[in-house]
Chains A and B, each alone.
Chain A
Amino acid sequence: MSQQMTGAKMVVQALKDQGVEVVFGYPGGAVLPIYDELFQQNEIRHVLVRHEQGATHMAEGYARSTGKPGVVLVTSGPGATNAVTGITDALMDSIPLVVLSGQVPTFLIGNDAFQEADTVGITRPCTKHNWLVKDPERLAETIHQAFHVAISGRPGPVLVDIPKDVQFAEGTYTPPQKARTEHYAPKVKGDIEAITQLVEMLEQAERPILYTGGGVINSGPGASQLLIELAESTGIPVTSTLMGLGAYPASGKNWIGMLGMHGLYEANMAMHDCDLMINIGARFDDRITGRVNAFSPNSKKAHIDIDPSSINKVIRVDLPIIGDVGHVLEDLLRIWKSRGRKTNKDGLAKWWKQIDAWKAVNCLAYKNDGPAIKPQYALQRLEELTRGRDRYVTTEVGQHQMWAAQFLHFDGPNRWMTSGGLGTMGYGLPASIGVQIAHPEALVINVAGEASWLMNMQEMGTAVQFRAPVKQFILNNERLGMVRQWQQLLHGERYSHSWSESLPDFVKLAEAFGCKGIRADHPDQLDDAIREMLAYEGPVIFDCLVEKHENCLPMIPSGNAHNDMLLPDDDVRNAITGSGAALV
C-alpha cells in the first residue's frame, strides 16, 4: 500500500490502524472529504447521531462499557461546539474519547469564515490535550498521538481539529509504530517503599476501609479482580463512589454500599469512623467528603491514584502512592502475602460488628403505601426482574440516578454508566445507545428522569435506525425532582420552575419514533409492564409514572459531615442551612 494519500484517507487509515470499529458522528461541510472516505470502506462502522452532543455521550457509553476509546467525528463550528458538553463530561469522569473535528481551510482560519469556530481554543480547557493539524505530513502521527494520550495515564478526551484543505492535501501516512509517543508516559508502578508502608498500616488497622472509585474501573478488569482478592483475603469492608460501582461486586460479602451525599448510612459512618482509609482510584470529590474539615477526622489516609494532581488537592493524605491501581494492588497483595498475610483480627471483628449495627438502621427504607408507584419500588422490581441477565445500565441525572445507584446492584465493572463529575442531564439515552452498539446482544437499560430524557430524546431516532434495542426506563415524576427536593430542603418549599407542564405523551412519542411505548401507573401493573419491556426486541420507551414528591434519602445535606445524615424518617424541610446553603 502506498504511504502517499490524502489527509481524509489518512484519517480513516489511522482509525483502522488504531483498531477502531465504530465512529459516532454527524457530517457537515468541513468533514465531507472524511465522510467520502468512510463511504468507500466497510471496516469502520459509522453511527449517524441526531445531535453532536449525542455522539459524544454515545462514545462515552461505548468507552465505559468496553474499556476502549470512543471515537467521535463532527464538523466545524456548530458541530464542534455541540460536542463540548460531552467532551467536558468525559474529562470530569476520565473517559477516553478521541474527537475529530473538521475546520475551515487553513487559509480562512481567523477570517470569521462560515462555520468557523476556534475549536482548539474552546476545547482547550475541556480536553486532556488537543491539536490543530495544519500540515498533512503531521496528520496521521497526530491522530496516533491523540489515541495514546486519551488512553494513557488518567484517561480523558482529546480533540484533533482538521482543516478541510488538509483533508484534501496529499501527504505521507505515518503508521502507529512510527508515531512519537514516548514523552507522554505517566508512571504506572507505585513506589515499593510506600506500598510496603501501606501494608504495615493495613496489618495493624482496627477499622480499615477501602474507599474505591472510577480509577479501579479505568485500570481494567484485572484491577477489579485484585480489589476483590484484597478485600476478601484481608476482610476489609469496601465502599465505592458513584463512579466505581461494580468494581467490587454488590453481592460480595465485604460490600457496604455506595458512599457520599446519597450514599448508604453504613458506608458514610464507616468512612467517618475508620482509622485507616485506603483510597483506591477515587478523588475526594465534594459529593463524597461532605464538609472537608469534618471529613473522617481520626483516620490515617492512603491514596492510590495515577494522577499526581489528585493527591492532596482536597484532602491531605498521609501516604500518597502514585501509580495505576492494578499495578499498585498487585504489589500490595504480593508484599502483604510475603509478610505472612497479617491483619488485626480482633479489631476487624469489632469493626464489622459496628458496621452491622449501622446496617440495621436500614437507611434505604421507604413507605410503599398508596396507589402510586414509588420510584424505589420500580427500581427494586427492575432489579429483581433483570437479575442474572447480561445487563448494562446507564442513567440520566437527578433523583432517579441516585435511586438507581442505591437500588440496582452491579457485580462487575463496566456495567454502570452515569454522568458523575459533570452531572449532565441528557447523558443517559445516548450513552445507552453507545453501550448497545458495543454489546448488541446485551440488555441495555437507561434509568431516566423525564426531564433529563427530553434533553437528548432526538437520539431515539438513532436507536431505531441502528436497531439498538435500548430500554428507556423513565421514572416520570413530572418534576425536576432533584431540584424540587433541594427547594424543599433549602428554599422553604418554594418550587420555582421545577415542574414541567405539557410533557409529551411518551407512548405516542415512542410510536412516532417507530419503537414501542409502555406505560405503568399502578404498582400492580409494574411487573407485567417490565416483563413486556424486556420481551420486546426493539427499543422501548417505558413511561413509569411515579410518586411526584418522593425525596431521595439518605442524604448528607451540603455542608454537613458524614455522620450527620438525613435519614428517611427525618424532617427534610429546610435541612440545608448555614454555610451549606452556598454549596451545590
Chain B
Amino acid sequence: MSPLTISQGSSKHSAYDLRDPYSEVQETHTLTVIVDNEPGVLARVIGLFSGRGYNIDSLTVAEVDHTGHRSRITIVTTGTPQVIEQIKAQLGRMVPVHEVHDLTVEGASVERELALLKVTGKGEARIEALRLAEIFRANVVDSTLQSFVFEMTGAPSKIDAFAELMRPLGLTEIARTGVAALARGV
C-alpha cells in the first residue's frame, strides 16, 4: 500500500466545486455569461455547445451595459457534473467572456421567462381559457372574436403548466423568450 494520502477537502484546491465528480446523473444548470458585445460572440458561444456536443435547453442574450458594450447571456443546460464543469471552463477561456456564473450552485436565484400564447376557440373553451389565464396572472394582449394572445411571465415550469392547460382549449402557437436569471440578494 502506498503511504500516499490526500487530505479530505482537498477539492477546495480544485478550480471548481466538484460535488460528486463521478456522478452520471444529468443535472440542469442555469449559467450566466457576461461577454463583450462584439460581432459573432453569440455564434462563438453556440458553436462551442454544438462543436463539443453540449445541450442548450434555453438561451437568451441582450446587451445589458450599453456604454461598456457588455451582453448578458443566460444559458440553461443539462449534463453530468463533469460536463457542466467543462462547459464553464470552456466558456471561461473564451477571449470575449468576462464572467461565468453558475446560478444553480452559487446560492439562490430567480429565473423568469416571458411567453406569448395564442389560443383560438369559441364558446365554453374560450371562457375557460380566460378564466385560467386570470388564475395564472396571464394578461390578454390581443383579442379577436376567435382568439386571444396571452402574455405571461414566470418560472419556466409555470409557463409549461399554463401551456399544458391551454392545449385542449385551442392553443395554436407559443413564443417563449428563454430564461433570464439573476442571483438573489446582494
Contacts and interface: CB of A to CB of B under 8 A. Distances in A.
Nearest to A134: B39
B33 to A, nearest CB: 14
B43 interface: yes
A205 interface: yes
B2 A207 contact: yes
A355 interface: no
Interface stretch (B11-19, B118-126, B170-178): B11-19
B4 A275 contact: yes
Interface string A128-156: 11001000000000000000010001100
Q: Quick one: which of A300, A308, A322, A344 has the most chain B CB within 10 A?
A: A308
Nearest to B94: A129
B116 to A, nearest CB: 31
B186 interface: no
Contacts of B89: 308-309, 311, 313
A571 interface: no
A567 B51 CA distance: 37
Nearest to A298: B2
B10 interface: yes
Interface string A165-204: 0000000000000000001101000010110010001001
A149 B93 CA distance: 11
A5 B10 CA distance: 56
Interface stretch (A119-127, A364-372, A475-483, A498-506): A119-127
B3 interface: yes
A310 to B, nearest CB: 8
B52 to A, nearest CB: 10
A197 B95 contact: no
A320 B12 CA distance: 10
A205 B86 contact: no
Contacts of B13: 191, 193-194, 197, 319-321
Given A125-B47, A322-B15, A312 B85 contact: yes
B86 A318 contact: no
Contact of A204 (B4, B18, B44, B86): B4
Interface in A269-326: 275-276, 298, 300, 307-309, 311-313, 316, 318-322
B4 A205 contact: yes
Interface residues of B, number: 31
A287 B135 CA distance: 60
B10 A318 contact: yes
Contacts of A450: none
Nearest to A191: B13
A309 B93 contact: yes
Contacts of A298: 2
A349 to B, nearest CB: 15
A467 to B, nearest CB: 38
Contacts of A311: 14-16, 89
Interface string B2-40: 111111001001111010011000000000000000011
B6 A197 contact: yes
Given A308-B93, A312-B21, A201 B4 contact: yes
Contacts of A186: 93
Contact of A124 (B6, B44, B85): B44
Interface string A96-122: 000000000000000000000000110
A206 interface: yes
B95 A184 contact: yes
Interface string A323-348: 00000000000000000000010000
B92 interface: yes
Contacts of B7: 197
A273 B96 CA distance: 42
B69 interface: no
Given A183-B98, A193-B13, A312-B21, A319 B6 contact: yes
B16 to A, nearest CB: 8
B151 to A, nearest CB: 35
Given A124-B43, A312-B18, A312-B82, A307 B2 contact: no
B104 interface: no
A320 B14 contact: yes
Contact of A129 (B18, B43, B85, B95): B95
B90 interface: yes
A206 B6 contact: no
Contact of A149 (B21, B44, B95): B95
B22 A316 contact: yes
B40 A124 contact: yes
A121 B6 CA distance: 46
A319 B7 CA distance: 11
Interface string B111-135: 0000000000000000000000000
A298 to B, nearest CB: 7
Given A120-B40, A186-B93, A193-B13, A344 B3 contact: yes
Contacts of A153: 93
B21 A121 contact: no
A183 B13 CA distance: 24
Contacts of B92: 308-309
A300 B40 CA distance: 41
Nearest to B89: A309
11 contacts: A121-B40, A132-B40, A149-B95, A154-B93, A201-B4, A204-B4, A206-B4, A276-B2, A309-B90, A316-B82, A319-B6
Interface of B: 2-7, 10, 13-16, 18, 21-22, 39-40, 43-44, 47, 51, 82, 85-86, 89-90, 92-96, 98
Given A191-B13, A275-B2, A312-B16, 5 more contacts: A121-B43, A193-B13, A197-B6, A204-B3, A318-B6
Closest 8 CB pairs of A and B: A309-B89, A275-B2, A194-B13, A129-B95, A308-B89, A309-B90, A204-B3, A308-B15
